[in-house]
Structure 1
Amino acid sequence: MAKPPYAPYVTRDRAPDASEAVLLVIDMQEYFRGIATPILPPIKQTISLCRSAGIPVIYTRHSHRGPSDYGMLYEWWDGDLVFEGTPAAELLPEVGRGEGDNLVHKHTYSAFYDTDLESFLRKHGKKEVIITGVMTNLCCETNARDAFVRGFRVFFSTDSTATVNEDLHVSTIKNLAYGFAYLVDVSSIKAAFKR
């Protein structure tokens, strides 16, 4: 089996600790259905594995209420944003958010900005985040970097994240493996939680 293109950058290996980790499911929303559909099987497996290991699952949902929360996004994306209360803002039903799962509403790439995510993690003694969802190179990467600089150990899924093309996906994973995150996938998470 051929090595993935990011293999030279994978110089650190570690498994998540179920007692210290949370799973972040980033922006699996109707707006991103086209990008998210291919990763539905692995992300659903990852959610199931984490739930079985007692790991809290936290979903993020990106949407805007109006100009006061656009920041630079309105300019950057020429007004093509996800608006609160529209079908595009809803989570994909396939990801199966449960009643006990937390939902973080965000209005920029980072779920740590202007939310209670960090205080929730610290209050519950969580020191690790496993990142899944969309888009690899925007919200997922920003959350990985933001978590890292805030002192959280980051695990980034290579098969449960996706973006608009393979080049951006792989480039992001190379950068994160080099400086911010341990890489995981469904099989390594499964192996870690069997131990």
Structure 2
Amino acid sequence: MNYYCPQYGVWREYCMPSSHWLRVNDYAERKDSTIIDEWNAVPTPPPTQLQSVSVDPKTSALLVLDMETSICNNPRCIASISKINQLLARSREWGMLVVYSLTHTGSLSDIAAQIAPLPSDPVVKSNVDKFYKTDLEQILHDHGIKTVLITGYAANGAVLHTATSAAFRGYNVIFPVDGMSALNPYAEQYTTWHMINSPGTRNRATLTKINLLHFIHPYQRSENRELGVIQ
């Protein structure tokens, strides 16, 4: 029996075992096929593991991306509003920086009322990458931010591309998966898989959920810094 080995891009009688690799019986029949032809034969990867995460509010920022009522109008996005609101309340309680984003045609009045920004909250406006032609990087730099918690809509749009852009810039990226959404579940699954498997993001991204986030008290920060836990 032949197997396709994606690591080497060749067909072999035997390749290192992995449940993710496509099994093919007949090379002659498959040699001209594409990934689209093989779509239904590709095994689904196992679910990713969610981690308990300690957040230093002094060096972390919460990003609330594109939560505009004009696009956040489907059941999955609407359901995420209450979750984001929980995280938003905790973040404000700990004095953490909160940054909002809008689509290129959005306005502040479009943001869902439950999670509306305060007058002091920075707001950036761009395409799916919120670093693109905005002062987001400068805002984060000015506040000494090293880690971003990314929430919002859509998972496969602003969330994915802004998170990737943040990782490229050296930020640690925390993904509360219940704080992001997309029109369909597959887009959310793909986003989580991409962030922890892509060479550009996997060393920077951590998947979690909102009730697994723990904020570090100032005295804990001092103790952890002495132990080398916080840089």
Match of 1:114 in 2: 133
Q: Is the 8 A contact 1:21 1:128 kept in 2?
A: yes
* 1:15 pairs with 2:15: no
* Runs of 4+ more than 2 Å apart: 5-16, 191-195
SS at match of 1:15: strand
Q: Is the 8 A contact 1:59 1:97 kept in 2?
A: yes
Q: Which of residues 192, 205, 212 in structure 2 aligns to 1:188?
A: 212
- Specify every segment of 5 or more residues in structure 1 that has no aligned partner in the other structure, as ranges: 64-82
Q: Is the 8 A contact 2:72 2:153 kept in 1?
A: no
Specify whether residues 101 and 11 from structure 1 end up closer, same or farther in structure 2 by C-alpha distance, changes over 3 A only.
Answer: closer
Q: Deviations over 1:137-173 (max 9, x none)?
A: 1110001100000011100120010001111111211
In the TM superposition, residue 177 of structure 1 has moved relative to its aligned partner by 2.5
| Aligned AA (1:187) | N
In the TM superposition, residue 183 of structure 1 has moved relative to its aligned partner by 1.2
Q: Is the 8 A contact 1:135 1:162 kept in 2?
A: yes
Match of 1:140 in 2: 159
* 1:102 pairs with 2:143: no
Q: Is the 8 A contact 1:16 1:155 kept in 2?
A: no
| Aligned AA (1:181) | A
| Aligned AA (2:146) | K
In the TM superposition, residue 16 of structure 1 has moved relative to its aligned partner by 2.4
Count residues in correspondence: 168
Match of 2:150 in 1: 131
Which structure has more relative contact order (CA 8 Å, sep 6+)? It is 1
- Paired with 2:65 and 2:53, the residues of 1 have a C-alpha distance of 22
- Paired with 1:6 and 1:166, the residues of 2 have a C-alpha distance of 15
- What is the RMSD computed on CA atoms of the aligned residues? 2.4
TM-score normalised to the size of structure 2? 0.66
Of all paired residues, the percent bearing the same amino acid is 24
Q: Between Structure 1 and Structure 2, which shows a larger proportion of helix residues?
A: 1
- Paired with 2:145 and 2:216, the residues of 1 have a C-alpha distance of 17
- Bigger radius of gyration among the two: 2
Match of 1:51 in 2: 92
Q: Is the 8 A contact 1:53 1:193 kept in 2?
A: no
Q: Is the 8 A contact 1:26 1:60 kept in 2?
A: yes
- Paired with 1:186 and 1:171, the residues of 2 have a C-alpha distance of 20
Q: Is the 8 A contact 1:6 1:173 kept in 2?
A: no
In the TM superposition, residue 6 of structure 1 has moved relative to its aligned partner by 7.7
Q: Is the 8 A contact 1:6 1:170 kept in 2?
A: no
In the TM superposition, residue 84 of structure 1 has moved relative to its aligned partner by 5.2
